[in-house]
Structure 1
Amino acid sequence: MLKALRCNSLERCFQRVTSLAEARQALAEPQTILWLDLFNPSQEELQDVGAAFHLHPLAVEDASHKHQRPKIEEYDSFYLLVFYTVQAEPSPERLRVCELSIFLGERYLITVHSEPIPELEETEQRWTRNVRQLEGGVIVLLYSLLDTIVDQYFPVLDAMVEQAEALEDRLFSGELRQRSFTQDLLALKKRFLTLRRIAGPERDVLNVLTNRDNPLFNEHALLYFRDVYDHIMRVADTVDLYRDQLSSTMDANLSIVSNDLNKTMRTLTAASIVLVVDALLAGIWGMNFEYMPELHWTYGYALALTVMAVISLLLLLIFRRLR
């Protein structure tokens, strides 16, 4: 599905575009900035857009294949950026990750995605409201898009941080280390890893945008992209910090579980020693020989039980003293 919005930077007005031919005609006007959004396009639609905007076939091929690494590639007349949006699923064990391919030209921006992305609607609202900055050209639109995407990382990251803190509190609150605790810990660590795989390469992309000497990025625009770069740095640093904290929590959990197991083994060992002594005495007095000492004692059975009880109690006292 094709959706486009054109902007006249001089008149500061916006107008919807309904077809690719109309988009090409609008782009022919020198003061027009065009945003073309393609939602779940077919291969033919992508090829038509690539031909209309003179996009390199390799870039069009990257946009048509999913699971690209976040990156930025420079071509003769445009840039290709791959970014990811992140949202929390209703189920806390998963993150909803959507891939977004961005073609950036001198006066146009093309976004390609296969799933609905709410950040695009917010970007459109921000772009249409910032009429005072329309002289900045398509860079203002790109900044609004990237800034909106990165800002949406923080609510997701804050929720994950709260879950990490809650897990740590559960660990040291004296509760039993159940199987669900380990499962929750591993699931949360996997979500941090997913976010790290996104934030790390995107930090490199923004680093390229803020340091590249290109006429599209003037000094005034670089200030805004440095702000986005600072935000993605905060996300990456927070993810690294809490990944390390979760690793420490997992190690502490394993240590506590091992300590509990050692306590159980010590208790079982003490009990087995007591029972082995009783079994030793019972085995000695239960030997089936005709001639043996103490065989015809009247109180032999009671004496044997008394000896067993005394020895068992003595061993229990010794083990308790030794903790």
Structure 2
Amino acid sequence: MLEVRLTMPDGRIAVHPAPADGSDAAFGGFPKNSVLTLFDPTPEELGRVARAFHLDEAYLRDALDPLERPRVELGETEDGAPVLILVLGLPHQNGDAAYDGRPGSMPYGVMPVSLVHLKDHLLVVARRAHPAILDVLDGRRAPVATHMKTRLTLLIFQAVAEAYLAALRELRALSRAIERRLRAAHRNRELFMLLGVNKSLVYFASALRASVIVYRRLLAGRDLKLYADDADLLRSALVDLEQAEELTALHADRLSTLMDAYAAVIHNNVNAVLKVLTTLTVVLTLPVLIAGLFTINTRLPFEDAPWLFGLLLLAMIVSGGALVLYFYQRNFLRW
């Protein structure tokens, strides 16, 4: 979906309809100092924007690759004008429904977002719209104008860092809820849910590691001109991002330890059950052998005696009880 945002004379940021395709006006009819957002764009929209600004369409397609890593790239238009491409990783919730722990699923993923800086325009490309980005572009996060490309970019950077912290809080609460359920019932579903949470943390760690490099490179001021206020904003965003990176590593280590502990508990429980079943089998074997002696087709001493049945029954009870006492004293029948 292609949308155009432009600051109005009253300071309000308004969403304008995209100009007609094939316009002969400069920049394909897109207003100067506007912000173009391409959320889940069609191939036609990508081609149209690329033609309007004489861009390599690959610059716009980078954000549509779910495996794209955060990075900074310097390029040129077909006319030789400089282009700055910033690719970020933004955490997003997978699906609208509550996380159910299906094998292979995870509660959160990382979505690439591409910010393409042109001389008079800012292009924002992503596979879907995200509230954190919309709050910045619509001026709800902080007063801003669409011609302030650097300010918009840094506000998006800060929003991305805060989105990671919010997602980590959600994952922490989710993992604690799963732990409580796992203590009550050792089921595979809860283990799959913890595995999905851990998978989200792995994606977070990879994206955060690359994002920190991007933030530090921009803070050096080589690729993007920064004023004092801009540098302070970027430093604040970098602090949040580094905190998110540390929390991600901490949660991932804790979750891995927790899953190993639960796996060991389940393994021990299975061993305990097998030990009890094996012990009961041994306990029942001796009485069965005693009774089996008098079921063979061979004459045995005292087989016609009236007291034989009672004696055999007593022998089976005594032998079985003796074995139970023996194994119980050696903790074979205790959990």
Name the TM tier (shorter chain): 0.7 to 0.9
1:221-240 alignment runs, 5 A limit: 221-240=230-249
**Aligned partners of 2:66 and 2:112 also within 8 Å:** yes
- The answer to whether the Cα contact below 8 Å between 1:146 and 1:228 also exists between their aligned partners in 2 is yes
Show the counterpart of 2:79. none
Question: Which structure carries more helix by proportion?
Answer: 1
Query: 1:199-220 deviations in whole A, cap 9, x for unaligned?
Result: 3322222222223524623454
Partner of 1:166: 177
Matches within 5 A, 1:63-142: 67-76=67-76, 77-88=82-93, 89-93=95-99, 94-95=107-108, 98-126=111-139, 129-130=142-143, 137-142=148-153
Q: Distance in 2 between matches of 1:63 and 1:181?
A: 33
Between stretches 312-321 and 80-89, larger displacement belongs to 80-89
1:217 — aligned with what?
A: 226
For normalisation by structure 1, the TM-score amounts to 0.81
Alpha carbons 2:133, 2:156 under 8 Å: kept: yes
2:302 is aligned with 1:294: yes
Unaligned runs of 5+ in 1: none
AA partner of residue 286 (structure 2): V
Alignment of 1:118-267 (within 5 A): 118-126=131-139, 129-130=142-143, 137-171=148-182, 173=183, 175-214=184-223, 216-218=225-227, 220-267=229-276
TM-aligned CA deviation for residue 119 of structure 1: 2.6
2:2–2:37 CA contact under 8 A, matched in 1? yes
**Cα separation, 1, equivalents of 2:224 and 2:322:** 90
Distance 1:97 1:156 in 2: 11
SS of 1:75 mapped into structure 2: strand
Q: Aligned ranges for residues 44-55 of structure 1 at < 5 Å?
A: 44-55=44-55
In the alignment, is the contact (CA less than 8 A) between 1:27 and 1:33 conserved in 2?
no
Higher relative contact order (CA 8 A, sep 6+): 2
CA contact (8 A) 1:73 1:80 kept: yes
Task: Report the TM-score, using the length of structure 2 for normalisation.
Answer: 0.79
Across the two proteins, how many residue pairs are aligned to each other?
313
Q: List gaps (5 residues or longer) in structure 2.
A: 77-81, 100-106
Aligned match for 2:316, one of 276, 286, 308 = 308
CA shift for structure 1 position 61: 4.6
Q: CA deviation at 1:53?
A: 3.2
Asked if the contact 2:87–2:114 (Cα under 8 Å) also holds between the matched residues in 1, the reply is yes
Separation in 2, partners of 1:40, 1:298: 91
8 A Cα contact 1:4 1:23, kept in partner = no
Structure 2 Cα separation of the partners of residues 225 and 152 of structure 1: 15
Instruction: Provide closer, same or farther for how the CA distance between residues 235 and 170 of structure 1 changes in structure 2, counting only shifts above 3 A.
Output: same
Identity of aligned residues (%): 21
CA distance in 2, matches of 1:127, 1:216: 24
Distance 1:97 1:169 in 2: 27
Two-structure CA RMSD over aligned residues (Å): 3.3
> Aligned residue for 2:282?
273
SS at match of 1:78: strand
| Secondary structure of 2:242's aligned partner | helix
Change (3 A) 1:278 1:163: same
